[in-house]
Amino acid sequence: MEDGGLRTMRFDRLRQSAMDLQDPDRMVFQSMQYLHLVFAFHEDPKRMFFVGLGGGSAPRCFHRDYPTLMIDVAELDPEVVNLAKRYFLFQESERMKVQAVDGRIFVNKTPHRYDVVFLDAYYADAIPFHLATQEFLQELKQKLTPNGIVVSNVIGSVRGLDSKLFRSILKTLRSEFAQTYVFPVEGVPNIIVIATQDKERLGKQEVIRRAQRLEAQQRVHFPVERFAHTYVLEPIPTDDVPVLTDDYAPVDGLLHFSVW
């Protein structure tokens, strides 16, 4: 649909992707801008993998801004791929390829290893549980480089009644990754979680310092220092939520919030 100069892709009630018709390269959703925090945790990624395409704004931005990156995308629905190409300027190239296939199947079949994996297939009212389980993360870790990281875009809240799904996903990530970092997106119910294999944890000031350096060196085109300041320091309890597994992933029961 188009309204107010924006072209939007919706999955049922959820705005999944949007493009500014006057400035198609502008990242409309701030949550997608937050993804560029990855460079504070992996200085020089060579290959990235996106689970979920939508309108393709995030992979298109990384493809444009970082000309040495190789990018793979897995999108379950071939019609979404068609729409992204027809209406949202997404184009494949030698450096960026998309397959219309389930993300977990892609992970098990790909011969590549990735420096960064983006999980952007979690929606507000329909969670593909098999892309959130401990077993999937174990499979994913086998396709990461030694210092590869996973970035999840989760809809929900850090605390309160709307937080159970997020905290369950966080608990599951914690079960497989040495470090997890939580960045709530300003003004919207999105949370970016970065999971790393590092033995030592980066403090908030170190992440901010790295973000400042990225901006000073003009390696990123977004205010990542401001995003770094949202780093959650307070403990996030997870005792009351389950680790998601292939045998037990009650994601529907953890969904108790309205979409925006």
Write down the pLDDT at residue 259.
Answer: 39
pTM (2 d.p.):
0.93
Write down the pLDDT at residue 72.
Answer: 98
Write down the pLDDT at residue 189.
Answer: 86
HSE (side-chain half, CA atoms, 13 Å) at 214: 24
Q: Where are the domains of the chain?
A: 2-254
Instruction: For residues 212 and 163, give the distance between their C-alpha atoms in angstroms, rounded to a whole number.
Output: 30
Write down the pLDDT at residue 249.
Answer: 66
Per-residue pLDDT in tens (0 to 9) along the chain, 260 residues: 999 899 999 887 778 889 999 999 999 988 899 999 999 999 999 999 999 999 999 999 999 999 999 999 999 999 999 999 999 999 999 999 999 999 999 999 999 999 999 998 665 555 688 899 999 999 999 999 999 999 999 988 999 888 999 999 999 999 999 999 999 999 888 999 999 999 999 999 999 999 999 999 999 999 999 999 999 999 999 999 999 999 976 665 565 543 33
Answer whether 203's CB lies under 8 Å from 229's CB.
Answer: no
**Beta-bridge partner residues of 250:** none
Answer whether 27's CB lies under 8 Å from 36's CB.
Answer: no
Residues in the chain: 260
Residues 6+ apart with CB under 8 A from 159: 236
Instruction: Kindly report the CATH class assigned to 2-254.
Output: alpha beta
Answer whether 27's CB lies under 8 Å from 139's CB.
Answer: no
